[in-house]
């Protein structure tokens, strides 16, 4: 096993410091714990802190390891980007400055092994998964906007929906290829779970309850309980700023910006924005629509969804935005929000 990821046996509960920060400080780097379960023939893998500023999964894992509970099957708990997480102030760095986003390094980490520490950690995690042949992989994250907890996966299979249901009621069916961990796991159901906003108590509670359910449940993939429904949202379009445009988040038009978006826009995550609703203000320097909306085929669909009415940018048709970021830098370089289609409701058969 690579020294990029240190794999330990289950700690005795007394060996895990009570303070999660002391636990983090004591780690030598990316770390995993293999906790023996009642059924040793099966294994589940949970990963946390691929992003150093998303601590809910780590806090849940710390509490769970301290509890000393024997899981239903073997559990492997991974804490990935320890180096980024503990940069001062703790839990504020997504990645180590100047280095790659770890959750974009799983595209083909085997090609880049040894090139940088992130690729080596990614490689070691995939190696561990290959070796252990788990029945499920769940990667726990937070996000920057207000969202309900939701899972992201490449295939809305019954198994993936059952994993999603341990944490929330939404499954985002993604077709994006970003180099994320879940894209690299094909041997078993794998989902990313976004439990809510970093630093939010509700997000920490969801991570904790979901992790316990995930590791302590005998049969993970039984049909969902009656009345439990997971909504499948297909994620075909990504909205971002056109090149060279400036975005400002504020409550009124900022004439220096090409686009001003309300700074509480994330209240509308997972809600339908009706036709005619104002989604932002367009500044005088903008001759066109400042947003582009790229579909799976790479076409810009902005003109189908948005129109300019004087200084307002207005929805031409209803749409549901998810994963709205309130960070103008991310919105400009990566994505402001995704537009989803509601596929169908899944419920117990
Ligand atoms: Zn993340």
Tell me the CA–centroid distance for residue 76 and ligand 1, in Å.
Answer: 19
Last residue of a domain, one of 176, 200, 222: 222
Domain check: are 70 and 114 in the same one?
yes
Q: Rounded to the nearest whole angstrom, what is the distance from the C-alpha of residue 56 to the centroid of ligand 1?
A: 11
In a domain, 228, yes or no: no
Residue 345 clears pLDDT 60, i.e. is over it: no
From ligand 1's centre to the CA of 101, what distance in Å? 9
Among 295, 298, 297, 317, which residue's Cα sits nearest to residue 307?
A: 317
Mean pLDDT confidence for 243-270: 92
Position 114 scores a pLDDT of 54
Tally of domains within the chain? 2
Domain termination residue (choose one: 192, 222, 252) = 222
pLDDT value at 110 more than 80? no
Whether residue 174 is found in the same domain as residue 33: yes
Q: Which pLDDT value is given to residue 111?
A: 58
**Alpha carbon of 34 to ligand 1 centroid (Å):** 23
Q: Give the pLDDT confidence of 65-109 residue by residue, as tens digits.
A: 999 999 999 999 999 999 999 999 999 999 999 999 999 999 875
Tally the residues of the chain.
349
Last residue of one domain, picked from the residues 195, 222, 249: 222
| Spacing, Cα 102 to ligand 1 middle (Å) | 9
The alpha carbon of 105 and the centre of ligand 1 are apart by a number of angstroms equal to: 13
Which has more confidence, 341 or 19? 19
246 and 173 within one domain: no
Range of the domain at 275: 236-340
Cα–ligand 1 centroid distance for 141 (angstroms): 5
**Residue, of 323 and 181, whose pLDDT is higher:** 181
Average pLDDT over residues 148-168: 95
Q: Would residue 102 count as lying in a domain?
A: yes
Q: What is the pTM of this model?
A: 0.88
In this structure, are 49 and 141 located in the same domain?
yes
- Which pLDDT value is given to residue 267? 86
For residue 54, report the distance from its CA to the centre of ligand 1, in Å: 6
Task: Provide the CATH number for the domain around residue 129.
Answer: 3.40.630.10
195 and 51 in a single domain? The answer is yes
Share of the chain above pLDDT 70, in %: 95
């Amino acid at each position: 096993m690579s020294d990029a990821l240190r794999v330990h046996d289950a700690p005795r509960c007394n060996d895990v410091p009570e303070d999660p920060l002391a636990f983090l400080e004591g780690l030598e780097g990316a770390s995993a714990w293999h906790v023996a379960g009642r059924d040793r023939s099966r294994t589940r893998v949970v990963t946390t802190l691929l992003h150093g500023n998303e601590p809910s999964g780590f806090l849940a894992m710390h509490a769970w390891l301290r509890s000393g509970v024997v899981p239903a099957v073997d559990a492997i708990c991974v804490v990935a980007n320890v180096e980024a997480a503990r940069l001062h102030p703790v839990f504020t760095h997504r990645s180590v400055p100047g280095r790659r986003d770890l959750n974009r390094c799983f595209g083909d980490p085997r090609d880049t092994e040894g090139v940088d520490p992130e690729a080596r950690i990614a490689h070691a995690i995939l190696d561990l998964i290959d070796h252990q042949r788990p029945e499920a992989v769940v990667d726990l994250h937070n996000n920057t906007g207000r969202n309900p907890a939701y899972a992201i996966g490449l295939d809305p299979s019954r198994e993936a929906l059952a994993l999603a249901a341990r944490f929330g009621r939404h499954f985002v069916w993604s077709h994006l290829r970003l180099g994320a961990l879940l894209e690299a796991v094909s041997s078993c159901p794998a989902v990313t779970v976004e439990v809510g906003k970093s630093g939010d108590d509700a997000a920490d509670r969801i991570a904790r309850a979901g992790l316990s359910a995930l590791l302590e449940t005998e049969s993970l993939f039984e049909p969902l309980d009656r009345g439990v429904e997971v909504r499948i949202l297909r994620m075909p379009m990504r909205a971002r700023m056109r090149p060279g445009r400036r975005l400002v988040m504020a409550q009124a038009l900022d004439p220096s910006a090409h686009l001003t978006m309300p700074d509480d826009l994330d209240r509308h995550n997972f809600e339908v924005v009706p036709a005619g609703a104002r989604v932002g203000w367009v500044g005088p320097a903008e001759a066109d629509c400042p947003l582009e909306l790229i579909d799976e085929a790479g076409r810009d669909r902005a003109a189908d969804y948005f129109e300019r009415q004087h200084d307002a940018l207005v929805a031409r048709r209803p749409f549901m935005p998810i994963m709205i970021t309130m960070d103008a830098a991310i919105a400009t370089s990566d994505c402001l929000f995704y537009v989803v289609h509601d596929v169908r409701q899944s419920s117990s058969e």
